[in-house]
Structure 1
Amino acid sequence: MGKIWLVTGVSRGLGREITRAALDAGETVVATARSADAVRDAFSGQHDRLHPLSLDITDAEAANRVAAETVERFGAIDVLVNNAGYAELGFFETFTDAAVRRQFEVNLFGAMNVARAVAPHMRARRSGLIVTISSVSGLVSNGGGSVYSASKFAVEGWMEGFAQELAPLGIRSLLVEPGMLRTDFMDRKSASFGTIGIADYAEAVAQYRAFVAGANGKQPGDPKLLAARIVALALQSEAPSRLVFGDDARQWAGAKIDQLRQEIARSADRG
């Protein structure tokens, strides 16, 4: 039967590709989204190793039920892929407080809900892998990405520490930091824009929104290739703690590291 996977956000995008790659590798996948029917539609019918379940990751009790049901049915959760998320794209002051909190509710606290539900089962077996889909935006922030990056920076800090807590118990962690992927992540299904008009930002916001519209569907990263890499790493006995995926992501992350080194050096020079 292979490994038992629990994947969130499967109805489209990278989650769908990860699920497909895992199924192609002979794995069994409990595939979740807010609508189980949306998962079924995404896979054009039933697959004998695909098991769709509805899960809103912001509902902690629902996450507990899905984890318990998976373990009861299959005996284990070998791999958790915390993938579900979305992006608030735009300038910080154009977002309401509610929109910012919603970004964290899904991207950070939702992922925490699922990890909190799954970790006890992995601890009991002293085995498991938690794959967290972060972003290069969890390492580097730019104008227009401040709110989304804030949520992903938080995910990075949480998982970097949580992974060290889990490692002595036989549980591994893989943080995935893609650059721009050719998914629907930047369209209205997965991205949201600020709603407050501010004259000082109007021109810059218009340029940013034009950039997003122009990039959507033309992103350089291949989600199928990333999904295959994630599945291959999950099936290895040893895997890296991070996967920075895409030339763009590696360039941005490298530039950030260089910038930090320079700033640290300048701080030392100043005493």
Structure 2
Amino acid sequence: MSLARYSLNHLHAFAVASRHLNMTRAANELCVTQAAVSHQIKALEAQLGKPLFLRTARGLQLSDDGERIAPAVQKAFAQLDAALSLLDEGTPPQRFTLAVVGTYLHGHLLERLQDFQLRHPGIDLRIQTHNNKLDLATETVDAAIRFGDGAWRRVEAVPLQAAPVTVLCAPELGLKSLQDLRRCTLLRSYRSDEWVAWAQAAGCPPLNPRGPQFDASVLMVQAAMAGAGVALAPAVMFRRELASGRLVQPFAVEIDAGRYWLTRSLGRDPSPAFDMLKDWLVGTLAERPPALDSDRMN
């Protein structure tokens, strides 16, 4: 099939709608009506002779054919945007320093950074990691992604990803029942009450965590995979390790210990880069996560 046969407007509508899986958000990004987006996609489907979307009880989903072409079409338009921005040589890159809690960087942000740079080549993004304890009023950063309840003083907090914590460990431990936890080293985070809350939710007698304490969940889970003990951490941030079998979640019980937030100090006006980053981050939550190697084989 020749590309010349297809309207760029139709392909652009598909690229945006397949990224959001929501016609309203796609229409807002394209600055057109929802009906116009639907019309453009139906015209493309008519040319292809194949449906690209399925409307289900769970909402809008890509068809098998839509899944096959969406990544390439999205990447093509992101590359076009990046190429055209190079012509605007009069605008220097806007430096933006983002502090990120290590677990979110590991589990969500790293695999999506290329997409952000393709979409916003005019932003010189600088990333620092932190252990969730920082003061935006005094730190030399423009914004921070951190974990908690969002109740920080003098801070704008934009909710990002929910991240309930659960038991994670190496498969070699062979945990089958709650009683098995009593023979294990229970690794600790700086949130000292999590094991107590998890035990209550699981309906088991109180547990006595005495393992090493970590200031970052990503390090605690790495220790768990190395056989140092059992961790309580957000499974959603370790989907690659769980998919590979290097890490297991032996019990279904999860507890809400907080979520991830994009935050900035209210003492400074938000920059255009902050608004772009915020919109992009919120947009990633509506998308399917990047495919894992195991996903591609199934």
TM-score, normalisation: structure 2? 0.26
Rg larger in structure = 2
TM-score, normalisation: structure 1? 0.28
Structure with the higher fraction of residues in helix conformation? 1
